[in-house]
Structure 1
Amino acid sequence: MQSLKQAVPKTDNFKRLHQVFDQLNSEVLIAIDYAGFDTSEGHEDVGSVFNVMKEYDIPRKGYCFFHQQDIERCFGKPGTLYLAFHSMTGDEEIAMEVGQRIVELLRANHFDVYWEETLDRKIGIKNFHLDKQYDEQLSSVVRSLSVITKSHQ
């Protein structure tokens, strides 16, 4: 049996996470990386994207994000990256489906995921090492909007 380390593609963590977020954005979710400083600012970013989606009549079922305080735990050494998630309407049944889909895609992309399958806890990606080098790529909100609108053309 091949070890997990051998089975993981050579793509770095952040690129694999972007692939997951792009997939979520192309479905019916809003997925934003580095959404503000804390959970409150993350929810503001989600709200901004959601308002644009409403203007263009593009339905969104739920959301997922991490923020600066989450990512700081993964600088310099592996840590647990926490992902906030829920439904856009507060519907707990839909929120559970959102959480399950996020976990499914993370595991399919070879992440070590921890989730208690409850809405009271964030989804955790264990042993996550931030290997992103910041560059001229689109901001997280603009990237999410770009993927969402492209997938609905």
Structure 2
Amino acid sequence: MDAFEAAHNGDLAAVRAALDAGSDAGAVDEQGWSLLHRAAMGAEADPVRAAAVLAALLDAGAPVEHPGGDGRTALYLAAEFSQSPEAVELLIARGAEPDITDGHGNHITVNAWVPEVAALLAAAAGIEPPAPDEEAPAPERKLSRAQWREARKRIGKVLDGLDAAGFVALAGAGTTQSDGFDDCSDAAERRGHGPDGLVGFCYYTRQDAERARETGRLFLAFWGAPDGSTRKMKQAGELVAGAFREAGFRVDWDGTGDRRPSVHLAG
């Protein structure tokens, strides 16, 4: 196991052994991610173990603000991948800047996985926390495997229709909203969508899919081409919400680009 794998796995003993053997705490892999970035990504599996590895790397001299392959810092990734605050708290305490955005202008608080982490970051940055998504349905709305399989088929047909209408529409795009946006951007480039031929993006992430299985409600991400302006976001959102409603889904959406449409899957 090399140092990058050990950092991602939250293996503190292996990370310390690698550092003791001469590994550079500031090393960067071929994708541009540092050991600190890899440890932050590991927060998805275990935020507490990730925080311990992050602390060891910082103690060894890892730069807390190093931009990764796409410009995101370790704190940005920790917020994306953490379901509890340990890793995020550690990085902020060690000097990480909390008032940051990614390359698409998404503020770290908006892209945080859970409200608790978003609120922590907002307080550290001195800004208002993002408006939460609508409250999830009661646990008894959890979908069975068969229900989720059927829902995915129906959702897939809607996404196919949006794709044919000029959207890049993806299911299970990345883990976080930022990852999903990157996947859509890559897909648009592969398909040769020019500025005039692209209506926008519509997608849901793997995190969204997991939440939908548990709650019976799927939150969609969308973006209006070419610039994500208020007008283009509203137009794209209306097309997305309309397509799902036409397919028989109940959709909750406030009509703005600041909130994600919520598609009811269970009844």
Instruction: Provide the residue aligned with 1:79 in structure 2.
Output: 216
In structure 2, C-alpha distance between the alignment counterparts of 1:42 and 1:27, rounded to whole Å: 20
What is the aligned length? 118
In structure 2, C-alpha distance between the alignment counterparts of 1:118 and 1:55, rounded to whole Å: 25
Aligned counterpart in structure 2 of residue 14 of structure 1, from 112, 133, 152: 152
Cα drift, residue 31 of structure 1: 0.5
Unmatched segments (≥5 aa) in structure 2: 1-148
Unmatched segments (≥5 aa) in structure 1: 1-10, 130-153
Cα drift, residue 20 of structure 1: 0.5
User: Which deviations, in whole Å up to 9, do the C-alpha atoms of 1:66-125 show, x marking residues without a partner?
Assistant: 0011111122x4422100001132222122111111111101111111101111111101
Query: Do structure 1's residue 31 and structure 2's residue 199 form an aligned pair?
Result: no
Query: Do structure 1's residue 98 and structure 2's residue 236 form an aligned pair?
Result: yes
Matched position secondary structure for 1:90: coil
Cα drift, residue 128 of structure 1: 4.7
* Larger radius of gyration between Structure 1 and Structure 2: 2
Aligned CA distance change for structure 1 residues 62 and 73 (closer, same or farther; 3 Å): same
TM-score normalised per structure 1: 0.69
In structure 2, C-alpha distance between the alignment counterparts of 1:14 and 1:46, rounded to whole Å: 19
Which structure has more RCO (C-alpha within 8 Å, separation ≥ 6)? 1
Query: Do structure 1's residue 52 and structure 2's residue 190 form an aligned pair?
Result: yes
Aligned counterpart in structure 2 of residue 108 of structure 1, from 246, 254, 267: 246
In structure 2, C-alpha distance between the alignment counterparts of 1:70 and 1:36, rounded to whole Å: 10
Q: Per residue, is there more strand in 1 or in 2?
A: 1
In structure 2, C-alpha distance between the alignment counterparts of 1:55 and 1:14, rounded to whole Å: 26
Query: Quick check: 1:53–1:59 contact (8 Å CA) kept in 2?
Result: no
In structure 2, C-alpha distance between the alignment counterparts of 1:108 and 1:61, rounded to whole Å: 19
Identity of aligned residues (%): 26
Instruction: Provide the residue aligned with 1:143 in structure 2.
Output: none
Aligned CA distance change for structure 1 residues 78 and 55 (closer, same or farther; 3 Å): closer
